[in-house]
Homo-oligomer: A and B are copies of this chain.
Amino acid sequence: MSSRTATAAQSLTAITEEVGACAQQVAGADLSRLAQLLDRYERVFVLGAGRSGLALRMTAMRLMHLGLTVHVVGEVTTPAIGPQDILLTASGSGSTAAVVRAAETAVAAGAEVAAITTNPRSRLAELAGTVVVVPAAEKLDRSGAASSQYAGSLFEQTVMLIGDALFHALWLNSGASGDDLWPRHANLE
């Protein structure tokens, strides 16, 4: 997208192509390892700042539909994390202060930590036992080199699709049908 104007349709095409190309470069082995981890732990905690956090909330809801016990860090009913739990984080830069601190605490509490990030050499990636690298621009890179989109948009979109892919694989491999999951959907809204 070289020009500086676009129709929304052109933008949608450009974004879809970017996210498709980005997703293809995510290492399948890392994704599989993360899927296995989510299945192994008693409870899954998710944490991301801003839009990354919203993407992980979308993942959290689906993992709950799958029957896992899931907590969003910061919600009022979220308990303490411990050795039986996994903390799934997402941070483009891998250096978001609140996410790094939570990962440090989780490691100290004996929990497993997984990270989705653009930066495999970041502090968050160091702390995480499992890292999924997304080859997108990080939020602070506004050069336009890695993406035509603003800030961390491509990263955040990819986090959302990765979360849905993790769910999708866990769901298929569980042998459960869609009808099996349906009764877990919130019925009070």
Contacts and interface: CB of A to CB of B under 8 A. Distances in A.
Interface of A: 1, 3-17, 19-20, 23-24, 26, 28, 31-32, 34-35, 45, 47, 49-51, 54-55, 57-58, 60-62, 64-65, 70-81, 87, 97-98, 101-102, 105-106, 109, 142, 144, 148-151, 153, 156-157, 160-162, 164-169, 171-173, 175, 177-179, 181-189
A19 B81 contact: no
Contact of A6 (B106, B173, B177, B185): B173
B77 A75 contact: yes
A63 B127 CA distance: 32
A153 B19 CA distance: 16
B105 A76 contact: no
Contacts of A58: 51, 54-55, 76, 156
Contacts of A160: 157, 160
Given A70-B77, A161-B157, A186-B80, A142 B5 contact: no
A148 B35 CA distance: 19
Contact of A189 (B3, B9, B73, B183): B73
Q: How many copies does the complex hold?
A: 4
Given A55-B58, A73-B186, A186-B80, A23 B12 contact: yes
A45 to B, nearest CB: 7
A13 B165 CA distance: 8
A168 B11 contact: yes
B15 A31 contact: no
Given A11-B164, A15-B165, 7 more contacts: A7-B28, A8-B166, A9-B31, A9-B32, A11-B172, A50-B189, A74-B74
